[in-house]
Amino acid sequence: MSVWIAIGVTALGCYLVKLLGLSVPAGVLERPLVQRLAALLPVALLAALIVQQTFADRMTLVLDARAAGLAAAAVALVLRAPFLAVVAVAVLVTAGIRALG
């Protein structure tokens, strides 16, 4: 039953955050700082999630094939590869290292 309570509270919280976003005056949303933060915040949150999923296993630091795949993806990004190529490079490097080990 506690899982359903958590789901309900989460759904209500999401609804309230959405309602709060809709009630913000347009003048506030048109500020350059707010627009820049709105553009950069999802990128920062996604990057933090990727790093946490790649280098953490519960409470320990892990360096395994995922870290090599992430490094290969970073190199592909620096070389300005298309997005699908970056994903493919990361997958291939990760799978290759796992196959070797």
For residues 94 and 65, is the Cβ–Cβ distance under 8 A?
Answer: yes
pLDDT bin (cut points 50, 70, 90) of residue 39 is very high
How far is 38 from 32, CA to CA, in rounded Å?
Answer: 10
CB 94 within 8 A of CB 69: yes
What is the value of pTM for the model shown?
A: 0.62
* Residue 1 in this model has a pLDDT that exceeds 80: no
* Cross-strand partners of 57: 60
Closest to 96 in 3D by CA, of 80, 78, 72: 72
pLDDT at 58: 83
Residues in the chain: 101
pLDDT tens-digit map of 25-34 = 989 889 999 9
